[in-house]
Amino acid sequence: MSLALDAGPEEPLLPGWTIGRALDAAVSAWPSNDALVSVEQGVRLTYSELSAEVDGVARGLIARGVSRGDRVGIWAPNCAEWVIVQYATARLGAILVTVNPAYRTNELAYVMKQAGVSLLIAASKFKTSDYVAMAIEAAPNLPSVFFGTAEWDALRTGAGGEQIPDVELSPTDPINIQYTSGTTGFPKGATLSHRNILGNGFLVGEACNYTPDDRICVPVPFYHCFGMVMGNLAALTHGASVVIPAPAFDPAATLSAVASERCTSLYGVPTMFIAELALEDLDSYDLSSLRTGIMAGSPCPVEVMKNVSEFMPEVTIAYGMTETSPVSTQTKADDTLEHRTATVGRVHPHVTIKIVDRSSGEIVERGETGELCTAGYGLMLGYWDDPEMTSEAVDSEGFIHTGDLAMMDMDGYISIVGRSKDMVIRGGENVYPREIEEFLYTHPDILDAQVIGVPDAKYGEELCAWVRLRDGATFGEEDLRQFCHGKLSHYKIPRYLRITQEFPMTVTGKVQKFKMREVSIEELSLQGAACIVTA
């Protein structure tokens, strides 16, 4: 009998530094290497230049009263300033609260209050989003600094002249709060330490065989671990360069940046790679510099991985969750094509994983399906100011239960076969239906609402709302979109609507969402998308 339990190797050793110390080490080792390139902004900073910018913002934060342990929010699409603020807060030991740029007023207000944010740093606007107006509406009394303003210029130049205090920070200090949608209807703030995210960035970079010669194209958002950890910190710990192709994902801009900056690595969720492969002028981009990259964030279609492997021969799949900083398993360049395209790899160093029977909690045998659980250095410190939710997520042995159903083969490779929780992953964004259901309940004409995920060829999953209306009420898809617009992030707005008189229920009164999904697939003719094979 071989149990579905595996522990990663003890090598390489985890860096025992804080993020600030890691930046100092990078400057010492690779002062003239490009650290950060923002193509659309025309910004190019070496490690020495990046460090100088970081120190200026750190002094500016001190002048505004920010100190160790204070929470500083950042709300912006990808840009050079985002990375500078990430490192400046780390220098001081302030806790960076990363806010999804798609958040609207309700969500922003909740996060600012729950985290106790004392200063918000944000973009002034992006596309149709007026961040200044929304910030004033959501938190009118919260001090804010917006990029592109005189206040930002003062912050950036260290106005006030304060010196950065020589305070000995600990690698186990909290340094980042990332909000994940919660089954309670409200986001939960996963609190991560220097050790959590610096260690994970380093190990991800090791799995990709990064060196100071690598240039990583990062079109995935920085507010996610994918961007700020697997991108920024993987680069930092290896002297590599981060290339920002655009503020938000654009397939043509991404491939143009790969070509012009001679990127060796490209990141993306599956929908991003699908969009890039679908470009009519794909052959016109010189992608010969690409060697590796990471596809992660949602289930990776096997055929897409095979297509990507043709121009990124060492592309890897990574699996994890925000609460584990994030990566727990990853494929490697020397894995077989089958393993690299149809599994999420093997356990990372310094991590332990097990697959358990959800009923008994016992570890299942390899080849059997159960819930994937993970433990190790990457496990979050907890949900911010929420010990009850923390204890529900992490068991007495220090394992977090992912809610994903998985299988481990005899060689330790993991395949994700489903999700036990009803979380929906749309284009790499985790969405919990309960949050949307509770919002829909506030509509005066809606008596009851249930939200499910249905398969989608582009985004992996889309949201479908089943709604029971009050007598005499009328409600259509356009009404749904208008009600949600400006109050929910775009990816949380259901694409499909089904008006119903009743939900399929068990004899004990529990809604059977799997039956709702079956009916929706049939009615919406989504059988083709449902058959796409993922790793």
In a domain, residue 419? The reply is: no
Residue where a domain stops, chosen among 381, 408, 435: 408
Query: Which H/E stretch holds residue 33?
Result: none
In a domain, residue 440? The reply is: yes
pLDDT score for 59: 94
CATH number for the domain harbouring residue 492: 3.30.300.30
Residues with Cβ within 8 Å of 53's Cβ and at least 6 positions away in sequence, in order, are 45, 84, 156
Which residue intervals of 145-250 are DSSP H helices? 150-156, 194-207, 225-227, 234-236
* Structural Rg of the chain based on CA atoms: 23
Tell me: do 359 and 451 sit in the same domain. Answer: no
- For residue 92, give its domain range: 15-157+173-408
pLDDT score for 296: 92
Closest C-alpha among 113, 115, 21 to residue 71: 115
In a domain, residue 352? The reply is: yes
Query: 156 and 56 in contact (C-beta within 8 Å)?
Result: yes
In a domain, residue 150? The reply is: yes
pLDDT tens for 314-331 read: 999 999 999 999 999 999
Tell me: do 258 and 137 sit in the same domain. Answer: yes
Tell me: do 428 and 402 sit in the same domain. Answer: no
Closest C-alpha among 311, 268, 271 to residue 291: 311
pLDDT score for 183: 43
Residue where a domain stops, chosen among 361, 378, 408: 408
**Interatomic CA distance for residues 68 and 93, integer angstroms:** 4
Tell me: do 113 and 67 sit in the same domain. Answer: yes
CATH number for the domain harbouring residue 360: 3.40.50.12780
In a domain, residue 7? The reply is: no
pLDDT score for 506: 61
Tell me the two tokens of residue 293. 């990259």
Q: What are phi and psi of 443, to 5 degrees?
A: -75, 130
Tell me: do 218 and 70 sit in the same domain. Answer: yes
Tell me: do 363 and 287 sit in the same domain. Answer: yes
Residues with Cβ within 8 Å of 283's Cβ and at least 6 positions away in sequence, in order, are none
**Interatomic CA distance for residues 264 and 517, integer angstroms:** 41
Q: Angle of helix 251-261 relative to helix 270-277, nearest 10 degrees?
A: 80
Compute CA distances 461 → 453, 457, 510, whole Å.
Answer: 6, 8, 23
Q: Side by side, which strands form the sheet with 369-376?
A: 5-7, 351-356, 369-376, 400-408, 414-419
pLDDT score for 169: 95
pLDDT score for 185: 60
Residue with tokens 């010969």: 288
Query: 353 and 329 in contact (C-beta within 8 Å)?
Result: yes
Which residue intervals of 300-441 are DSSP H helices? 302-309, 337-342, 387-393, 433-440
pLDDT score for 437: 86
Report, as ranges of residue numbers, the positions in the chain whose pLDDT lies below 50.
183-184, 507-508
In a domain, residue 6? The reply is: no
pLDDT tens for 486-517 read: 999 999 999 999 999 988 976 445 678 889 99
pLDDT score for 270: 86
In a domain, residue 416? The reply is: no
Q: How many domains does the chain have?
A: 2
Residue with tokens 């964004």: 429
In a domain, residue 1? The reply is: no
E strand residue ranges, 337-386: 346-347, 351-356, 369-376, 382-383
**Interatomic CA distance for residues 90 and 21, integer angstroms:** 9
Tell me: do 344 and 440 sit in the same domain. Answer: no
Tell me: do 439 and 355 sit in the same domain. Answer: no
Tell me: do 367 and 499 sit in the same domain. Answer: no
Tell me: do 475 and 445 sit in the same domain. Answer: yes
**Interatomic CA distance for residues 420 and 406, integer angstroms:** 10
Tell me: do 124 and 230 sit in the same domain. Answer: yes
**Interatomic CA distance for residues 298 and 308, integer angstroms:** 16
Residue where a domain stops, chosen among 408, 434, 461: 408
Tell me: do 273 and 198 sit in the same domain. Answer: yes
Compute CA distances 521 → 27, 148, 161, 304, 512, whole Å.
Answer: 54, 47, 61, 22, 15
Judging by DSSP bridges, how do beta strands 496-499 and 460-469 pair with one another?
parallel
